[in-house]
Structure 1
Amino acid sequence: MTNEQYLRQAKDLRLRIENMKIARQISEDKLGLEIQELKQEVRSKDHQVRLLQTHIAKIEEAYHRAKVDNEVLQRRYEEISDQCGALADSVTMLKARINKDSSNSCKPPSTDGLKKVIHNNRMSSGRKPGGQPGHIGHGLTLSKKLVELIEEGKTDVEVVDHGDTCGEYISKYEVDILTMAVIKEHRFYKGEPIPDGLKNPVNYGPNIKAMCVDLSMEGLVSAQRVSEFIESLSSGAVKPSKATILAFQDELSGMLDKELETIRESVVEAPVISVDETPRSSTQRPADDNESMEVARGKSFNLCVRTYSTHDSVYLT
């Protein structure tokens, strides 16, 4: 190979090297730009990551607060649920109490109030109301007990004539009762002992005592009304005071201590007991000394009559 050829070949090599340098420089510049863009992108991503981390922290904080609030609300919900359950029980009890009337409790019919009048849609039969012609009547007749008293002469029979007494007649009976004050004068001569029931100059007899006690205890009538009732029956001749009526009750109670204890034991030992309570209002109640009565002033006392009963015994408290 000649020198000229070597020179030409060297020149080509230098040109190729120069071109390669230029190409490498271009590649390096391009890579530098890409690296700068990537760094910028990385910085942008880092900023986004920081923003996301801040957002996540806020979300976690909000979640924690929501969790705490939820626990508080859950406890409050449970409390309200318990209160609602208690209120529902109270409503059920009050409804049962309100729905009571004289047909399903011991309440008097006067407390039932006015009921809705149900329209009668039945067609008229054209017949008159009451018993129809030919039916067997069930009116009032002389009872067997009255007939026995008349035959034995233990009751008075007054005959009242109407019309001509010489002809035939039919009998119509009128049954009534007569109430009047009866005064017995007891004369005790010298040496004759006076029983306890007649120590005072004027004393009440056993019949009026029994009537007062029966009305006040069995009928649950106030002592004041019993006193007024006795006064009305006797046309104003007799009017026992409230204290006297209470004394009648105490006297009978002392006589029935053994019987009351027997009834109480019978009720306690019974396999099944029926219990009923009747609330009442009263203007009096036993005082703390259990001997006198406390009188309500401008108000009334709430009392409760509780009845314990079996198939053959009744005990009131």
Structure 2
Amino acid sequence: MFDRMLGNYLVEQGRLTGEQIKQAYEKQAQSRARLGVIAVAEKLMSIPQAEQINSLQASKDKYFGDLAVEMGYLTPEQVTRLLGEQGNAFMAFSQALVDLGFLSLDEISNLSQEYASKHGLMESEIDALKCNDISRIVPIFTKDADEKTVKMLIVAVKNIYRLVDQHVIIGNLEKKSSVSGECVGYQKTIGRDKICNCISGSYSDLQKMAMSYTKEEFIETREDALDALCELINCTNGIYATQESTESEMIDLEPPVYITHFANIKASVVYSLPVYCSNANVFINISDAEKTEIG
């Protein structure tokens, strides 16, 4: 998630152009991060140490990790862990920026710290974003929400990452009394936890999200788009119900519903999480099912 967040920031700050960030994302998709880049990003090695190992590799037929262990910079256990992170999106993004000559590792590190400072993020929170640990990321952006809402949103964002777009970005949750959308899809849970889980937004954005979810090149009708997103909501609620139900306290699901015209979601509290995925801005709205009116 942090690769896209930092990428947007670099463009906003004029450090990269729109065309350059597009090139970086394309190269990122084609490559894996090298061990030295990951070791520096993880602060296990300094930039001079990594450059020293890179120079040694030019004259020795050895892997970076083997040389780093020989030089005493890394332990074998650290090398094993770093190798497991080579598919990490942020590491691959950093590698792409370096390979294209857009930024140095030092600049990426400084800009990451600048981003964290401007957005009030602690080091542990940036680490969660870089690792794309959604169970740790969602609570960063949902600090005003109750425990049930946070748990539901963790499941929802994980599903979007898994089923819709692996480059999903979320914003800070807002606490409202009503949310409106050109179209909405929702489903209520019953039993122990009575939750209304709703997706709202413009039709064009919901259509883009639905197309990514269904892997269809085009969805012709609003009904088809909303039906697909209701299926996604049902998947989220089903996982939540399975995780949270006990033998004595069950959670069940009502049939999902969609509205293809402008609608309002009203409740004493509606927790609204902005989500950017598949080039679309949508909102996941969580509220008390018994106190929610939609129409």
Smaller-chain TM-score bracket: under 0.3
Higher radius of gyration, 1 or 2:
1
Say which structure is richer in strand: 2
For normalisation by structure 2, the TM-score amounts to 0.22
Question: Higher relative contact order by CA 8 Å / sep ≥ 6: 1 or 2?
Answer: 2
For normalisation by structure 1, the TM-score amounts to 0.21
